[in-house]
Chain A
Amino acid sequence: MTNSIGEIKECDFLFVIGSNTTETHPIISLEMRKAVSRGAKLVVVDPRKTELAKLADVHVPLKPGANIPLLNTMCNVIIAEGLYDKEFVANRTEGFEELKSAVENFTPENYAGVIGVPAETIREIARAYAKADNAAIFYTMGITQHTSGTHNVLAVANLAMLTGQIGKPSSGVNPLRGQNNVQGACDMAALPNVFPGYQGVTVPENVQKFTEFWGIPQSAKVGLTVGEMMDAAHHGDLKAMYILGENPMLSDPDINHVQQALENLEFLVVQDIFLTETAMLADVVLPGASFAEKDGTFSNTERRVQRVRKAIEPLAGKADWEVISEVLTAMGYPHKYASASEIFDEVAKVTPQYAGMSYARLEEKGLQWPCPNADHPGTKYLHEGKFSRGLGKFTGVDFEPPAELPDEEYPFVLNTGRRLYHYHTGTMTRRAKGLNAIYSEEFIEINPADAAKLSICDGELVKVSSRRGSITVKAQVTDMVQQGMVFTSFHFSEAPVNFLTNSARDSIAKIPELKVAAVKVEKVS
C-alpha cells in the first residue's frame, strides 16, 4: 500500500477494484466503512455482488477480464474533459503523450459493452475520482491474477498519476496483500530477481555488494518463479526443491501438472507444521513451528514491520529459523544466531528500507518502511514529492482478453477467491474447531438463471470440469455471481478447484490467471 490503514477513514473517494475486502481484509473493510459513514463515495468494481458492493454508491459488475477497458476509459474521460492534474502530470510524470494516444480509442461508448455498465456510469465514476480531494484505489488478486496482470497494475498507476491521486495522505494506490507476510517475503527477497530490499540481481553493483556482504559469489542470472520451477521439474531440469510452509499441491493452478512435477524431482524437502498434500510427496519432512512458537517479525500490507513473539516452546523442539540455519551450517556455510533478533539486525544491514529498525524500536507499534536510519520515524505514505524512480512513468496498455474464454463446450467462466472463515489451503483454519464448524464445506456459487437452465437446486452436487480436470462440489444458487459465471474458493481439499484453473501466466510477473477459466457445470444424478 502507498497509504496506511489508518488513513483510509479520511479518504473522500474509495475505488475498490477486484477486492472482496470484507472477507479477505476484514479490518481494512472496517476502516472503509468509517470513511463511508463520514460521507466518502465508494465505488466497487467486482464481478460478484459482494458485501462491499452492496454498501457502494456504485457497483460495477465487471465482466471477466475487463479491468483495462474500465481503467483506460476512465483515463480517456479524464483527459477528454480536461480533468487531469496538469501540474502533477507536468512536474512529476513522463510519457503523458503515450498514455493519451493509448487511451484515445477507449471511449466509454466503445467499451461499455465489454465492461458491463452504461457509458454514462463510467463517465460519472471517472469525474468523481478525478475531482475528489483524496481518492484512493484498493485492489487485490482481481487485478493481478490475470494473464494481463502486470498491465492491469500499470493501468491502475496511470489513472492515479493522471489525476495526482497519489503521494498524499489518504490518497494513493493500495494493493492489499493477501497473506500475513507476503509483503515481508518479498522485502526479504524470496523472489528470483532481487536481493533483499528489491535490489535487482542483474545490476552488477548489487551482485558485488551481496558477494561482499555474504562472502560468496552471487549470480546475476534471474532465477525461476514457482510456475517455472514446476515446468523445469516436469522437464527434468530441476532436480531438487526445498519448500518451506507452502502447499502448492492445493494452492497452485493445474494441480495435476504440479503433482507430476514434484514427483519427478530427485529430492524434495518440505518443512511444514502439518503433513500437507505437498509434504506427502517429500523425501524428507522437517516439522515447522507455528507463529506462536517463535520470535520474529511480519510485515503487513501497509509496510508495517511488527513483532511476532514466542508464547510457547516449539512443539517439535526447533523454530524454523533454527532449522534453516542448521541446514546452512551442515552444508558448510556456518550460520549461528543466538536469537531471531540477531537475524533481524543482519537484515537491517543489507536492506535499505529496514536499515533504521531493530527489535527495540519495533517493540510498541512496529515501524513502516522505508525507515532508513535509527532516528527515522518510518513512512506513512509513499511517493510524497517524488517517485522512487524519479518521474512517474505512464505506460499505455491495450486490452487483451483472458487466455481462455467460455465457448460452447465450456460455457461458464470460473472465478476463484477466498472466504472469510478460511485461509489459503485451509491447513490451519480447517483445524480450528470454531471456523470449521461455521464453514465446514465448500460450495460453488451459480446464478439462479443458470441453475434453472441446468435444473440445479441449491445444495445439489454438481460436476465442474475444465480442459484440465474436474471436481464435484455442492452448488449454491445465488445472485452474488452474475450469469455465466461460477465462483468458489481454493481452501478445501475436498473441492480442489485448482484442478480446473488455468496456469496460463502473465508474461511479465508470471502470475497465473486464477480469475478466469472456462468450465462446464453438470448435475450429478
Chain B
Amino acid sequence: MADNVTLTIDGQKVTVPAGITVLEAARQMGIDIPTFCHDPELSRPGACRICVVEIKGWRNLPPSCVTTVTEGMEVETESEAVVEARRTILDLLLANHPQDCMTCQKFGDCRLADYAYRYGLKKTTFVGEQTNVPVDESSAVITRDVNKCILCGKCVRVCAEIVGRNVVDFVSRGFTTKVSPALELGLGEKEAGCVSCGSCVAVCPVGALTEKNMQGIARPWEVKKVKTTCPYCGCGCNFDLNVKDGKVVGVTSNPTSVVNGRHLCVKGRFGYDFIHSSDRLTRPLIKKGGKDGDFVEVSWDEAIRHVASRLKEIKEKNGSEAIGVLSSARCTNEENYLMNKLARVALGTNNIDHCARL
C-alpha cells in the first residue's frame, strides 16, 4: 500500500503509516527513544538532539523526532555512535546544571536524571562557569529556577502555541541563552502577562518550573494519584489529586484527560488548598437559644434527627408547599438526585431549585 512504508528499527521489521517520524514509529513498537524538546502537541524544533538515531547510509546522526520514515530505512536507536552522542549531550547539559538533586522538587521525576542514569553519567567532564541567577519566586504559584533549565523550549512553545500568551521566550545575554519573560521580568510581575495556568510546569522535563505549593511537601513516589474532575467551571477538566498521608498535597496534570489533556487553568491546578483550610466545618452545628443564639456542636445523630423532625413537623403543620429545597451546582449528580428525592419524595413538593441562573 502506498500509504504505508516498511522499515527496520533495531533489527525488527515494521510497517507504519507514511509521513510519521522515526520517533513515532519506534514508540509504536515500544522502543523508548529519549527526548527533551519533543512534545507531540507542540511544534518540533528538533533542537536538543538527545533523540538522535543511526540510519544506515546516512552520514550524520539525525534527530528522530524530525526525521520522516522512508521505505527500507534501517534504523539503530541505541548503537554505539548513538549512545556516545547522547552521552556527550548529557555531559554538556550537566556541565551547566546544579547538582542539588537531593533537595530538588523534581527528584524522582526528572528526565535529565533519568537519562544520566540510563547512560551511566555520574558527573560532567567539563568544568566551567555555571549559570547562577536567583530563583524567581515572584509568582504566587510557580517556582522558576533558571539554573536548572536545559533550554528545551517546551515552556516557550506551550505558552505561545497552546495558551496563546507568549509570556516566556529565549533571551540571549552574554555567554548564556536563557528562558525568561520579556525584559527579564519576574513571572509573577503583572506586566509579564502570565495567567498562572501552569501548562509550562506540566511540560518542563526538569526542575526548572515547579509548583510552589508542593515544595518540600512530598516526593513523587510518596504520593497516591487519584484522577478526578475539577470542581470549578463547566469545562470539566480532569487532573490527578496528589495525596500523601490522607491529605491532598497537590494537583498534577493527567495526560489521559479527555477534555483538557495536560492543560488546566489556575483554579484547577492551584485552587485546591481550600480542602484543608482550617475553618472547614467538621461537626454539625445547632443554633441554640433562638435566632440570635449561638451555634453548638452536636453529634451527627442528633443533628440529623433534629433536621428530620423539624421538617416533618413543618410539613404536617403548614403543608408540603411551605418547604423549599436549594440543591447545588457544585455537588455531584448523585447528591442532586437525592436532593430531588428529598423534595419530591420526603417533603412532597416540587419546590426545588439551584443557582443555575446565577
Q: Chain A interface (Cβ within 8 Å of chain B)? A: 5-6, 24-28, 30, 33, 55, 144-145, 176-193, 195-196, 201, 210, 214, 216-219, 221-226, 229, 232-233, 237-246, 248, 251-252, 263, 266-267, 269, 272-275, 279, 282-288, 290-302, 304-313, 315-318, 320-321, 323-328, 330-333, 335, 340, 343-344, 346-347, 364-366, 420-424, 427-429, 431-435, 437-438, 509-512, 514
Contacts and interface: CB of A to CB of B under 8 A. Distances in A.
Interface string B253-273: 000101110011111001111
A352 to B, nearest CB: 14
B85 interface: no
Contact of A226 (B258, B335, B355): B355
Given A283-B287, A284-B285, A181 B352 contact: no
A284 B287 contact: yes
5 contacts: A188-B327, A201-B350, A242-B307, A290-B280, A511-B357
A6 B237 CA distance: 12
Contact of B308 (A222, A272, A330): A330
Interface residues of B, number: 109
A362 to B, nearest CB: 10
B241 interface: yes
B171 interface: no
A331 B308 contact: yes
Contacts of B324: 223-224, 229, 232-233, 238, 240-242
A491 to B, nearest CB: 11
A437 B212 CA distance: 12
Contacts of B78: none
Nearest to A328: B346
Interface string B222-242: 001011111111111110010
B295 interface: yes
Leading 8 A-B pairs by shortest Cβ distance: A300-B236, A296-B332, A223-B350, A245-B328, A330-B308, A190-B327, A26-B265, A177-B234
A217 B228 CA distance: 37
Contact of B357 (A226, A288, A301, A305): A226
Given A25-B235, A181-B332, A423 B337 contact: no
Given A321-B335, A331-B346, 5 more contacts: A178-B234, A185-B354, A191-B354, A219-B348, A287-B281
Contact of B323 (A239, A434, A510, A514): A239
Contacts of B351: 192, 223-224, 229, 238
Contacts of B281: 272-275, 279, 285, 287-288, 316
A244 B327 contact: yes
Contacts of A287: 280-284
Contacts of A196: 337, 340
Residue picked from A181, A290, A307, most chain B C-beta under 10 Å: A181
A49 B158 CA distance: 25
A180 B267 CA distance: 12
Interface stretch (B67-75, B104-112, B297-305): B297-305
Contact of B312 (A315, A331, A364): A331
Interface of B: 140-141, 162-164, 188, 195-197, 212-213, 224, 226-238, 241, 243, 246-248, 256, 258-260, 263-267, 270-277, 279-287, 291, 295, 300, 303-312, 314, 318, 320-346, 348-358
Contact of B213 (A25, A331, A343, A434): A434
Contacts of A511: 357
Contact of B235 (A28, A245, A344): A28
A192 to B, nearest CB: 5
B345 A308 contact: no
B283 A432 contact: no
A190 B345 contact: no
B266 A438 contact: yes
Contacts of A429: 232, 267, 271, 274
A200 to B, nearest CB: 11
Contact of A290 (B235, B258, B275): B275
Contacts of A243: 325-326
B228 A311 contact: yes
Contacts of A192: 350-353
Contact of A420 (B265, B314, B322, B341): B265
B331 A221 contact: no
A392 to B, nearest CB: 23
B311 A343 contact: no
Nearest to B288: A283
Contacts of B237: 27
A297 B334 contact: yes
Contact of A252 (B295, B320, B358): B358
B297 to A, nearest CB: 10
A49 to B, nearest CB: 16
B353 A229 contact: yes
Given A300-B235, A304-B258, A321-B332, A26 B197 contact: yes
Contacts of A307: 227-229
A240 B234 contact: no
A514 B355 CA distance: 13
Contacts of B331: 181, 185, 244-245, 288, 296, 320
Nearest to A265: B324
A292 B344 CA distance: 28
B326 A284 contact: no
Contact of A432 (B270, B284, B328): B270
Contacts of A240: 310-311, 314, 322-324
